[in-house]
Structure 1
């Protein structure tokens, strides 16, 4: 089954970002090649849903993180190869007829750009293949190593008899050799060269992600079969928050619904994003912002954290929430194992309706024992009802303590339901009522 998610989730987690600079994609995009960046984008758009495939990719990246090797090719090689390989016009083949005194003199006066592009492309592929063989030979891998298959596929191309002249060259190829290799690279074995490039883009990606893991102290998660239905995270944090406070969280089948409470500014949204980002990255086989992680593979992730009104449809915020819940219900009805996050469910309606709807929807989610849910709310009274008759709901909160009239936030999860109510204290601390009173006095006649 394909892993499913949607634009709302990608936006909530800032996967690509509106401006890109602080997006998850940009955090991981240290690729030296445009092809590597394209593979990275595809992986972000299509996470995995098979635990063996996830663990294999994770093991490959972990291997390169441990070796601390760097990508051995200059990006300029790929800049030369891509336009060269895109030229399929047989009239541009290098031939001995081109290698004349007249052509050489002509190039001195007005260089033939097409010929120069072709010669640069051939030279770049020659160096690429020679460097690839040397680099791969230095990788001492057992047959069972997760990267062994990709290494073998690269050698299966490099060892083709047609490419033997590449490895017997002494120094730079002459014009006649370039002409022969041009025919081999661009026309006779074009698909094999493309396959080699794709393998090297993949290598660029692996080494880029490995570098990020080392620099940011990210951990490599272990994927478990989906039927185990669990998450174990130690010191998970938000990768975009400076000096983020880490948290521990465990979710098990007997408590597959997390009911999260806490005062405003206590860190609920940030925690939910941190957890969701870790789950998203883990399903890609990427390192996660945590000290350690084990998780059951799900069929999809859906978050609702920054849900906008749909003015184009004339939909209020509450109706947008209702439609979002309806979409989740439809996905769950297909039997999918989903990780679903709702931040402040039904904030767009009055307190009574929000209270009743929060209880009803949370109970409805709790009947889906094959999925995992995290629901936050300010309607803490709903927790008392759920605690009484919904045993698979687990209650956690982010506490607030008071230093005089100043709230102090620990950003550290605790078990239970919060009883913090500090909204009016914050309003008074900001002097809002004083500002309004002063405004009234100024408008009154003397």
Structure 2
């Protein structure tokens, strides 16, 4: 099960890795970040694919092209492959027809040269300099498709003729014959492989730009060192190291202390790791989870007719059902059951935590403002953390530092009085 809508894939995650130039590559990138992989082996394989790009980064660092050149080359080759543009294959007929049709001749020469320049530039600057052996077999097939396509068109020879201004009508007709010999499958496979290559380049550039680290997977470890949320300009980095028996993590701290941001940061590390990508941390050792569920912005669902509280119940139920089926779960609940009254919330949250603490191979992180939970949850399987906040001259100073232990600090009344609301209310009474 996957429920990560609250991680805001489009606005928060995609921009971290999106250095694509084509719509096709961006679409593939969107697919990559929306589909966690099915096993640790698949994750490690994708990591190896990305690491091969890192090894070849001296060659690929400047990878770029003009979008218009890409679109024009793709359109022309696809039209030829699908026979929407028919090129004369008999050399004599083509020579006679094009000799006496200046406009058609110039248009064909221009289109051919545009394709040649585009493909030759990519090949000479990037593809020809790659160490293909560094890539796992799963990605080598894409490079082989690209290289076979370029080789079949004799791109070096064509580019040499263009550079020497010897791409004559005869050379144009001969190149047209090579284009005609391409099958639609070959052409489609080439563009798909090129888009895949660009999507991986984009991911790699994002990882290197943000200095993310590749995680390691282990069944009985959950260790994030110096993790943070990359959307913040100056993030505070924290550590979170859990034992395999720490099934429920209770997070406390006053309003504005950064609980929701920290939950997003931890969830983002877990989610990116399951995509086979690097994570915003100095290092990470994580279990593989069958279920990843993040509930940070649970709202009423008008379409389904759910109230806020019922939406929380449905989210929790789906996670518990997954855990009951024997699946390993990672789930985050921000202020669980805030959609009901305090007494109700305290009662059912205590029951929930006591139940969740019994599930092995699962980690449940719950933030709460219910301070009476402290004594009720001092049980095996539950670990208490808080985000540090200090009072200086009776004003809160937020450190955003994660620490073990419980926070009893209340700053609501302090901020209420700081803004002068009691005086304003008193003034209303005096003038009423």
Question: CA contact under 8 A between 1:303 and 1:341: conserved in structure 2?
Answer: yes
Deviations along 1:400-440, one digit per CA (max 9) or x if unpaired, are 21102201111111111112122211211122222222233
Number of equivalences: 418
Could you say if the C-alpha distance between residues 323 and 345 of structure 1 is closer, same or farther in structure 2, counting changes exceeding 3 Å? same
Deviations along 1:246-274, one digit per CA (max 9) or x if unpaired, are 11012331112211111111111010001
Post-superposition shift, 1:371?
Answer: 1.8
Matched, 1:27 2:20: no
Who is 1:379 aligned against? Answer: 370
Please give the alpha-carbon distance, in whole angstroms, between the structure 1 residues aligned to 2:273 and 2:30. 15
Paired residues for 1:278-297 under 5 Å: 278-297=269-288
Question: CA contact under 8 A between 1:280 and 1:301: conserved in structure 2?
Answer: yes
Gaps of 5+ in 2: 89-93
Could you say if the C-alpha distance between residues 94 and 344 of structure 1 is closer, same or farther in structure 2, counting changes exceeding 3 Å? same
Could you say if the C-alpha distance between residues 98 and 36 of structure 1 is closer, same or farther in structure 2, counting changes exceeding 3 Å? farther
Matched, 1:323 2:321: no
Question: CA contact under 8 A between 1:28 and 1:212: conserved in structure 2?
Answer: yes
Deviations along 1:25-83, one digit per CA (max 9) or x if unpaired, are 12211112222211100101112132222223223334434534322544333212332
Question: CA contact under 8 A between 1:405 and 1:429: conserved in structure 2?
Answer: no
Please give the alpha-carbon distance, in whole angstroms, between the structure 2 residues aligned to 1:186 and 1:323. 57
Deviations along 1:195-244, one digit per CA (max 9) or x if unpaired, are 2222222222222222222322222222x15xx04321111111112211
Could you say if the C-alpha distance between residues 324 and 183 of structure 1 is closer, same or farther in structure 2, counting changes exceeding 3 Å? farther
Say which of 203, 216, 219 aligns to 1:209.
203
Could you say if the C-alpha distance between residues 190 and 177 of structure 1 is closer, same or farther in structure 2, counting changes exceeding 3 Å? farther
Post-superposition shift, 1:281?
Answer: 1.3
Could you say if the C-alpha distance between residues 323 and 89 of structure 1 is closer, same or farther in structure 2, counting changes exceeding 3 Å? closer
Paired residues for 1:341-420 under 5 Å: 341-387=332-378, 390-420=379-409
Please give the alpha-carbon distance, in whole angstroms, between the structure 2 residues aligned to 1:47 and 1:186. 40
Paired residues for 1:231-250 under 5 Å: 231-250=222-241
Question: CA contact under 8 A between 1:234 and 1:293: conserved in structure 2?
Answer: yes
Could you say if the C-alpha distance between residues 44 and 386 of structure 1 is closer, same or farther in structure 2, counting changes exceeding 3 Å? same
Secondary structure of 1:410's counterpart equals strand
Please give the alpha-carbon distance, in whole angstroms, between the structure 2 residues aligned to 1:438 and 1:62. 66
Question: CA contact under 8 A between 2:53 and 2:204: conserved in structure 1?
Answer: yes
Please give the alpha-carbon distance, in whole angstroms, between the structure 1 residues aligned to 2:96 and 2:295. 64
